[in-house]
Structure 1
Amino acid sequence: MRPTEFVVFVAAVMAVNALGVDLMLPALANIGHDLGIAEANHRQWVVTAYVLGFGVGQLLYGPLADRYGRKPVLVATLLGFVGASVFAAASATFGALLGARVLQGLMSASTRVIAVAVVRDNASGRQMARTMSVAQMIFFLVPILAPTLGQGLLAIGPWRFVFHALGGFAGLVLLWTLFRLPETLPVERRRAISIANLSSSYRETLTNRYSLGYALAASLTFGGIIAFVSSAQQVFVDEFGAGDRFTLLFAICAGAMGVASFLNSRLVERLGTRMISQTAVLALIVLSLAHLSVVWMGWETLTSYMVFQSLSMTCIGLCGSNFGAMAMEPVGAIAGTASSVQGFITSVGAVLVGSAIGQAYAGTTLPMTLGYLGIGIAVFAIVYVVEEGQLFRARLARVTQP
Structure 2
Amino acid sequence: MNVTPATSVHDKTIGRRELVVMVALLMSLNAFAIDGMLPALEQIALELGARDGNQRQLVIAVFLLANGLGCLLPGSLADRFGRRPMLLLSLGAYAVLSTMVAFSQSFNTMLVLRGLQGVLTAGLMVVPTAIIRDQYSGDRMARLMSLVSAVFITVPVIAPSLGQLVLMFAGWRWIFLLLSILALLAGVWVWVRLPETLHPEFRQKLDVPVIVVNMWGSLFNRASIGYVLGTALLIGSVFGYVNSAQQLLGEHFAVGAWFPVVFGGTAAMMAVSNIVNSRIVERFGARRVSHAGVLMFILVSAAQVWAAHYQGDNLLLFLPLMATNLMLLGFLGANFGSIAMQPFAKTAGAASSMQTFIRMFGAAVVGLIIGQAYDGTARPFAHALLICSTLALVFVLFSEKGILFRRLHPPQPKG
TM-score (norm 2): 0.94
The whole-number CA distance in structure 2 between the counterparts of 1:369 and 1:299 is 10
- Partner amino acid, structure 2, of 1:222: I
2:219 corresponds to which of 203, 206, 210: 206
Conserved? CA contact 1:270–1:399, under 8 Å? no
1:136 maps to which residue? Answer: 149
Q: Secondary structure at the match of 2:254?
A: coil
Q: Secondary structure at the match of 2:338?
A: helix
The whole-number CA distance in structure 2 between the counterparts of 1:285 and 1:270 is 24
Kindly indicate whether residue 110 of structure 2 is the aligned counterpart of residue 97 of structure 1: yes
- Partner amino acid, structure 1, of 2:410: T
Kindly indicate whether residue 288 of structure 2 is the aligned counterpart of residue 278 of structure 1: no
- Aligned-residue offset at 1:294: 1.9
The whole-number CA distance in structure 1 between the counterparts of 2:301 and 2:352 is 30
- Partner amino acid, structure 2, of 1:384: L
Gap regions ≥5 residues in structure 1: none
Show CA shifts across 1:248-273 (max 9, x none): 00011110111111111011001111
2:7 maps to which residue? Answer: none
- Aligned-residue offset at 1:302: 0.9
Kindly indicate whether residue 386 of structure 2 is the aligned counterpart of residue 376 of structure 1: no
- Aligned-residue offset at 1:401: 6.8
State how many pairs are aligned. Answer: 399
Kindly indicate whether residue 63 of structure 2 is the aligned counterpart of residue 50 of structure 1: yes
1:400 maps to which residue? Answer: 410
2:44 corresponds to which of 25, 28, 31: 31
1:287 maps to which residue? Answer: 300
Matches within 5 A, 1:105-120: 105-120=118-133
- Partner amino acid, structure 2, of 1:174: G
- Aligned-residue offset at 1:38: 2.2
- Aligned-residue offset at 1:211: 2.3
- Partner amino acid, structure 2, of 1:53: A
2:229 maps to which residue? Answer: 216
- Partner amino acid, structure 2, of 1:400: P
RMSD: 1.3
The whole-number CA distance in structure 2 between the counterparts of 1:50 and 1:145 is 20
1:316 maps to which residue? Answer: 329
Equivalent pairs: percent with the same residue?
38
2:255 maps to which residue? Answer: 242
The whole-number CA distance in structure 2 between the counterparts of 1:74 and 1:32 is 32
1:297 maps to which residue? Answer: 310
2:11 maps to which residue? Answer: none
Gap regions ≥5 residues in structure 2: 1-13
Show CA shifts across 1:287-339 (max 9, x none): 11122112222454111110111101111221111111011001121000110
The whole-number CA distance in structure 1 between the counterparts of 2:116 and 2:158 is 24
Kindly indicate whether residue 86 of structure 2 is the aligned counterpart of residue 73 of structure 1: yes
Conserved? CA contact 2:312–2:377, under 8 Å? no
2:173 maps to which residue? Answer: 160
Conserved? CA contact 2:202–2:347, under 8 Å? no
- Partner amino acid, structure 1, of 2:81: Y
Q: Secondary structure at the match of 1:255?
A: helix
Show CA shifts across 1:173-209 (max 9, x none): 1000111101111333211111221121022111201
